[in-house]
Amino acid sequence: MSASVQEPTRDELLAMAYVDGELDPTARAEFEAQLAAREDLRREVVSLRRLGLLARSMAAPEPIDHEWKKLARDPLQQTATVAAFMAMAIGATGLAGWGAYEIWASQQPVPVKALLGALCGGALLLLLVTLRGRLRTLPFDPYTEIER
């Protein structure tokens, strides 16, 4: 059996030293300038941080963990959870749509309708912008895998 060991690149070594706080101030400033410009380097740093965090928060599994994992794999639990969330999402979307239609079809003056439309549209836009921000920053958030 043979194992292939790949030598780390200079960037990887620098990233490790950066994460471990071993770079002197000049080297750190240079590395941070690189970090701002290169996404691959940012991903490397996040992945090293994630590894360090996991090692730091490693704990022996508790008996209850096995039960939670078993439940998470249980088809009935999975199906029921997905169905519950889907039903709630459909209900919420339907109610919102119905409410919007009711307001639109009501005898309210047009400016009131326009203002309500602006309020709802603004809230929806804000939600989408927030979601976009979260999706963009999620790959650079190393804390999401910590369990306890």
Tokens of 68: 């939670």
Cβ proximity to another protein, 6 vs 144, nearer residue: 144
Residues 13-32 close enough to bind another protein by CB under 8 A: 21
Q: What share of the chain is helix, strand, coil (3-state, %, to 5)?
A: 80, 0, 20
- Nearest residue to 35 (alpha-carbon basis) of 50, 15, 51: 15
Stretch that binds another protein, among 4-12, 39-47, 49-57, 105-113 (CB under 8 A): 49-57
* Interface residue with another protein, options 48, 51, 53, 116 (CB under 8 A): 53
Least separation in angstroms between CB 14 and another protein: 16
Of residues 54 through 93, those in contact with another protein by CB under 8 A are 56-57, 64, 68, 85, 88
Distance of closest approach, residue 4 Cβ to another protein, in angstroms: 33
Token pair belonging to 34: 């690189």
- The answer to whether residue 137 forms part of the interface with another protein (CB under 8 A) is no
Q: Which of 4, 26, 107, 144 touches another protein (CB under 8 A)?
A: 144
Q: Which amino acid is at 87?
A: A
Residues 6 or more apart whose Cβ sits within 8 Å of residue 10? none
